[in-house]
């Protein structure tokens, strides 16, 4: 380990602004086998999407292009970022290696299976 | 450690976003005059509008629809975008979060006065509806000859 710190050059205001992340809206629901996460990522193609898993942290990151061609001026903008980021911490009963992702019309569907041996079983209550 | 997928909001990004929305509500987006047809931040769908001398481009950020589900109309320079997004959860699931917009929507915006309502094209791709409206010939820059 080195004690020296690398001093990062100060970012220009424009760079900071361009890196502001948008928070995508999600729906999350669970059934007996999976947890399903649906996220709205309008403007993102399959190629612009990255889903990363670091330990139990799932990061959804996606680039979108809101830049107008140079000859155009912006009259109005609700969306001013150029990427979406959202993180979730998963819990240990989920099969993180078997996550299935699908992108359609800017809508991401993530299916996170639960470990088979941990899927809910009916607990019988015996009379005492 | 951070909350589980099933826990509460506790990460920095959602708190920051929440704060930003509160600030926008208090002070307005820019501190200037509010457009009479403008909507609260976060209204579905989000819209960006850009203009060049030849056309006006409208980008509607509406994920998860089909192109047939949009109704567009342009009356003079008033563009109306309407539609319905229906999200149905499978039966018997336990729902934790329902943040995505579900229901009918309609937004109206005033484009520059010189748009040509007969020359409109719209394409839907990756969840963004891109509407291109041509501007009338007379506003396009002309070269002025100096005699």
CA–CA gap between residue B6 and residue B131 (Å, rounded): 39
Exposure string of B15-48, with b = 16+ CB inside 10 Å and e = fewer, is eebeeeeeeeeeeeeeeeeeeeeeeeeeebbbbb
Q: Confirm whether A14 is domain-assigned.
A: no
Q: What is the CATH number of the domain that holds A55?
A: 2.60.40.790
Q: Domain segments of chain B: what residues?
A: 39-87+97-138
Q: Confirm whether A46 is domain-assigned.
A: yes
Fold of B39-87+97-138: Immunoglobulin-like (2.60.40)
CA–CA gap between residue B101 and residue B117 (Å, rounded): 29
Which residues of A make CB contacts under 8 Å with B?
Answer: 21, 23, 25-31, 35-38, 40-45, 57, 66, 68-69, 71-79, 85-91, 94, 104-107
Question: Which of A55, A75, A92, A94 has the highest number of chain B CBs within 10 A, making it the mutation to test binding with B?
Answer: A75
Query: What average pLDDT does this structure show over A65-94?
Result: 87
Q: Which pLDDT score, from 0 to 100, does residue A77 have?
A: 87
Q: Confirm whether A52 is domain-assigned.
A: yes
Q: Which pLDDT score, from 0 to 100, does residue A12 have?
A: 47
CA dist A63 to A28, A56, B62, B71, Å?
A: 22, 23, 16, 28
Residue A70 has pLDDT above 90, yes or no: no
Q: Which pLDDT score, from 0 to 100, does residue B47 have?
A: 94
Q: Identify the domain containing residue A84 by its residue range.
A: 22-67+76-116
Q: Confirm whether A121 is domain-assigned.
A: no
Q: Confirm whether A61 is domain-assigned.
A: yes
pLDDT in tens, chain B (147 residues): 333 443 345 455 556 566 666 665 555 555 677 788 888 878 899 999 999 989 999 999 999 999 999 999 999 899 999 999 999 999 999 999 999 999 999 999 999 999 998 999 999 999 999 999 999 876 666 778 888
Question: How many separate domains does chain A show?
Answer: 1
Q: Percentage of chain A with pLDDT > 70? A: 84
Classify A42 as helix, strand or coil.
coil
Residue A34 has pLDDT above 70, yes or no: yes
């Amino acid at each position: 380990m080195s004690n020296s710190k690398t001093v990062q050059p100060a970012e220009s205001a424009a760079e900071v602004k361009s890196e502001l992340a948008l928070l995508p809206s999600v729906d999350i629901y669970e059934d007996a086998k999976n947890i399903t996460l649906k996220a709205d990522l309008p403007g993102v193609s399959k190629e612009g999407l990255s889903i990363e898993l670091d330990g139990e942290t799932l990061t959804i990151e996606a680039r979108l292009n809101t830049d107008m061609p140079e000859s155009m001026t912006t009259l109005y903008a609700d969306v001013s970022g150029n990427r979406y980021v959202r993180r979730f911490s998963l819990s240990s009963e989920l099969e993180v290696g078997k996550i299935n992702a699908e992108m359609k019309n800017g809508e991401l569907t993530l299916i996170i299976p639960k470990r088979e041996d941990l899927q809910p079983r009916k607990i019988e209550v015996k009379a005492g | 450690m951070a909350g589980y997928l099933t826990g509460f909001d506790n990460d920095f990004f959602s708190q920051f976003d929440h704060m930003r929305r509160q600030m926008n509500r208090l002070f307005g987006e820019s501190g200037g005059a509010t457009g009479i047809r403008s909507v609260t931040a976060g209204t579905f769908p989000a819209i960006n509008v850009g203009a060049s001398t030849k056309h006006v481009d409208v980008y509607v950020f509406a994920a998860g629809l089909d192109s047939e589900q949009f109704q567009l109309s342009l009356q003079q320079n008033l563009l109306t975008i309407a539609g319905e997004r229906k999200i149905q959860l499978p039966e018997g699931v336990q729902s934790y979060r329902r943040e995505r917009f579900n229901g009918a929507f309609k937004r109206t915006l005033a484009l520059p006065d010189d748009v040509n309502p007969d020359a409109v094209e719209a394409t839907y791709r990756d969840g963004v509806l891109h509407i291109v409206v041509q501007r009338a010939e007379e506003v396009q820059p002309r070269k002025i000859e100096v005699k």
